[in-house]
Chain A
Amino acid sequence: MLVRVSQTAFDPSAELAAFDALGGGAVVTFNGVVRDDTGDLQAMEIEHYPAMTEGALRDFATQAQARFHLTNVLVIHRVGTLRPGEVIMMVATAAKHRKQAFQGADFLMDYLKSRAPFWKKEVTASGADWVAARDVDEDALKGW
Chain B
Amino acid sequence: MAQVDVLYFAWVRERIGHGSDRVDTSAATVSALMDELVAKGPEYAAAFEDRAALRAAVDQTLVDLDAPLGGAREVAIFPPMTGG
Given A52-B57, A52-B60, A133-B79, A119:B84 Cβ within 8 A: no
Kindly state the interface size class of chain B when it binds its partner: 10 to 19
Tell me if B9 and A138 are in contact (CB < 8 A).
no
Selected contact of A119 from candidates B7, B60, B74, B81, CB within 8 Å: B81
> Which residues on B sit within 8 Å (CB–CB) of A47?
9-10
> Which residues on B sit within 8 Å (CB–CB) of A88?
84
Kindly state the interface size class of chain A when it binds its partner: 20 to 34
User: CB within 8 Å of A: which of B18-60?
Assistant: 57, 60
Of all chain B residues, which has the CB nearest A131? B82
User: For the complex, is B70 an interface residue (Cβ under 8 Å from A)?
Assistant: no
Tell me if B84 and A32 are in contact (CB < 8 A).
yes
Given A47-B10, A52-B57, A130-B11, A119:B79 Cβ within 8 A: yes
Selected contact of B83 from candidates A55, A112, A132, A138, CB within 8 Å: A112
Q: Quick one: CB contact mask for A112-144 with B, threshold 8 Å, 1 for yes?
A: 111111111100000000111100011000000
Q: Which residues does B use to contact A, with CB under 8 Å? A: 7, 9-11, 57, 60, 62, 74, 76, 78-84
A52-B57, A120-B83 are known; give 8 further A-B pairs, CB within 8 A.
A49-B9, A51-B60, A113-B81, A118-B83, A119-B78, A119-B79, A119-B81, A119-B82
